[in-house]
Amino acid sequence: MRESVASTSKPPANVGTQVSVFLGLTIVFSLPFWLLLARYKMDGHWPLVLGLMCAPGLAGMVSALACRVPMRRFGWRWPLWKWIAAGYFIPIGYSLIAYSFVWTTGLGHLQRNPLAGNAFISWMPVWAYMLAVILLGALFVGVGLLGGSTLGALGEEVGWRGFLVPALATRLSFTQTSLATGIIWGLWHVPLIFFAGYQGNTPRWYSLLCFSAMVIPLGFLFVWVRMRSGSLWPCVLLHRVHNMWIQNILTPATGDTGHTRWWVDEFGAALAIMSTLIGLYIWLKQRNSIDAVQPAQSAFSGQ
């Protein structure tokens, strides 16, 4: 009886179908928010931004149901703590290196202005404030990162690294999977850059160029973390901390020296260069070893 029941259960849809359904649903679920944000812009309309960020995750969950993909393949299990630490400290590290280059070369300057409105920290040098944020954030990462922005990062990562990466990795190499997901991730942001005000104080073509040069190489980092940890959560943390440090801490702490806008934020050259170096390093060091572990049978098997 067990054999007859098992024989009637349908296997998951093929990878091509899984990816096609996911990409189609991602467009369908994202389109209303792209249109609304093109009309109202991102600034001051966080509910619309959050809805858009959750679209890939919703597409991934619906695709899994439609294509009979086991939910365990998303990587819900909690990983080793070293991967949580990696998800927290890696984006702090590369963003600080990029902005330190800007500050030390005079392309921008470190300023106290963002701290002036808070009486509890306005007396602190900016470097001390940043160090305190790193240490306190590490102590309270489970609480301090809760909130809408973390929900948005989770919404994206459930789609990109929860559904799409495991699907592609069953057929493609580490290099191909990283490039494919990085390019798709970048293309999903294009309507925001051109129509929704998601850009730097530079021409749109330059913002798109720098953003693409940042996000595509970071695809290698995210896929490496996802494959090695076997878990979605380090990617969620990496995404959230990246956004928090660049958008809320480092860019506001950088004063303009004339050409600063061409170098800072997610639309400047500093992070694009740093991300390219990270992606290149991971590709050179990990491409052979990761492909050798056959991720379809290990990291994404759900066993």
pLDDT for position 140: 52
Q: What is the pLDDT of residue 2?
A: 47
Q: What is the pLDDT of residue 112?
A: 63
- Span 240-268, mean pLDDT? 91
Q: How confident is the model at residue 114 (pLDDT cuts 50, 70, 90)?
A: low
Among 33-37, 108-112, 286-290, name the one with the lowest average pLDDT: 286-290
According to the model, what pLDDT value does residue 293 have? 47
Give residues with Cβ within 8 angstroms of 216, minimum separation 6. Answer: 179, 182, 183, 185, 186, 279
The CA-CA-CA angle for residues 277, 228, 297, to 5°, reads 130
66 contact partners, CB below 8 Å, separation of at least 6? 13, 21
Show me where the domains of the chain are located: 75-292
Look at residue 285 in the predicted model and tell me its pLDDT.
85
Tell me the C-alpha distance between 241 and 229, whole Å. Answer: 18
Answer yes or no: are the C-beta atoms of 223 and 178 closer than 8 Å.
yes
H or E stretch at 255: strand 254-256
Q: What is the pLDDT of residue 199?
A: 92
pLDDT digits (tens, 9 = 90+) for 207-240: 999 999 999 999 999 999 999 999 999 999 999 9
What pLDDT score was predicted for residue 123?
A: 61
Q: What is the pTM of this model?
A: 0.88
Rg (CA), the chain: 20
Q: Is the pLDDT of residue 303 over 50?
A: no
Whether the pLDDT of residue 116 is over 60: the answer is: no
Average pLDDT, the chain: 86
Q: By percentage, how much of the chain surpasses pLDDT 70?
A: 82
pLDDT bracket for residue 161 (50, 70, 90): very high
pLDDT > 50? residue 297: no
Question: Please, which pLDDT band fits residue 245 given cuts at 50, 70 and 90?
Answer: confident
Residue 253 has pLDDT above 90, yes or no: no
112-121, 201-210, 239-248, range with the lowest pLDDT: 112-121
Least confident range of 16-30, 57-71, 130-144, 246-260: 130-144
**pLDDT reading at 300 higher than 60:** no
Query: Which ranges of the chain does DSSP label H, i.e. alpha helix?
Result: 2-8, 15-40, 46-66, 81-105, 126-139, 141-144, 148-157, 165-169, 174-195, 204-229, 233-243, 269-292
pLDDT tier at 102, thresholds 50, 70, 90? very high
Distances (CA, A) of 249 to 43, 134, 196, 219: 17, 11, 22, 23
Q: Which of 34-38, 123-127, 247-251 has the lowest mean pLDDT?
A: 123-127
Residue 171 main-chain phi, psi, to 5 deg: -125, -25
DSSP state of 161: I
